[in-house]
């Protein structure tokens, strides 16, 4: 199965995993992971996520399917003492955008995106995403940034794990392009979606290795 077929299958699985429920407010399940495979998958229609950065080295990564259009992501610290950062990645783990907390104190990303699967990461300041080539985003506090760091051309593989604060946060997800919702119970994260994430990670790694050998 080639990479294009895997991407199509992944998008279908993600849509089925996230289109079941009107989630509204989602609570972080235990402590969501910091990789594509361990990320918490959000149900369709999710508009808010309530979570906690438990330690300085904690990162919360959430996967979601976006129906296309203007996406607004806004992280509120709720006077918890948490100094937040926010990161947006595509379905393969390539960095798209990052914002520390400009305008202070919220961490905000606004972008016009095609329909598809994405990941949003939240951490405390200085706990930045890495690829095999280094930092994905530059160290800057001027607003929304693109992946122009030394590792910006490669997929997410690790984090720096050296944040400076912890505490509770609320993530708002909004747009004029929210997809339809239904008043039903929120399902558990889909095993198929988690499995698809693992396949996609392996496929992208093999693709990169293949290019390097050419």
* 194 DSSP β-pair partners: none
CATH of residue 189's domain is 2.60.120.380
Quote the domain boundaries for residue 136: 3-213
**What per-residue confidence (pLDDT) applies to 191?**
36
pLDDT of residue 79: 73
CB-side neighbour CA atoms (13 Å) of 50: 7
Task: Note the pLDDT of residue 36.
Answer: 95
Return d(Cα 137, Cα 145) in angstroms, integer. 7
CB 176 within 8 A of CB 165: no
Return d(Cα 129, Cα 136) in angstroms, integer: 6
Number of separate domains in the chain: 1
Q: Residue 214's pLDDT is what? A: 54
Six-digit token string for 75: 């992280």
Measured CA to CA, the distance from residue 56 to residue 48 in angstroms comes to: 23
Residue 158: CA count within 13 A, CB half-sphere: 9
- Position 38 scores a pLDDT of 94
Could you read off the pLDDT tens digit of each residue along the chain, which spans 214 residues? 444 444 444 444 444 444 433 457 766 666 789 999 999 999 888 999 999 999 989 999 999 999 999 999 999 886 778 999 999 999 999 999 999 977 777 899 999 999 999 999 999 999 999 999 999 999 887 789 999 999 999 999 999 998 989 999 999 998 744 433 333 233 334 434 543 555 455 455 545 545 554 5
Q: What is the pLDDT of residue 142?
A: 79
Predicted model pTM: 0.74
């Amino acid at each position: 199965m080639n990479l294009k077929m895997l991407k199509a299958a992944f998008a279908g699985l993600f849509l089925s995993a996230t289109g079941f429920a009107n989630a509204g407010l989602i609570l972080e399940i235990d402590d969501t992971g910091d990789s594509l495979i361990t990320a918490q998958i959000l149900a369709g229609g999710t508009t808010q996520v309530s979570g906690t950065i438990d330690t300085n080295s904690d990162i919360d990564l959430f996967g979601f399917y976006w129906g296309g259009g203007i996406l607004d992501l806004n992280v509120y610290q709720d006077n918890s003492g948490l100094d937040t950062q926010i990161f947006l990645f595509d379905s393969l783990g390539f960095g798209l955008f990052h914002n520390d907390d400009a305008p202070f104190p919220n961490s905000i990303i606004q972008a016009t995106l095609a329909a598809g699967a994405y990941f949003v990461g939240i951490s405390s300041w200085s706990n930045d995403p890495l690829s095999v080539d280094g930092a994905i985003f530059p160290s800057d506090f001027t607003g929304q940034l693109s992946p122009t760091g030394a590792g910006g051309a490669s997929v997410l593989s690790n984090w720096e794990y050296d944040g400076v604060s912890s505490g509770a946060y609320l993530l708002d997800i909004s747009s004029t392009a929210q997809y339809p919702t239904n008043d039903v119970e929120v399902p558990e994260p889909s095993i198929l979606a988690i499995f698809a994430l693992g396949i996609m990670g392996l496929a992208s790694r093999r693709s990169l290795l293949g290019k390097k050998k050419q």
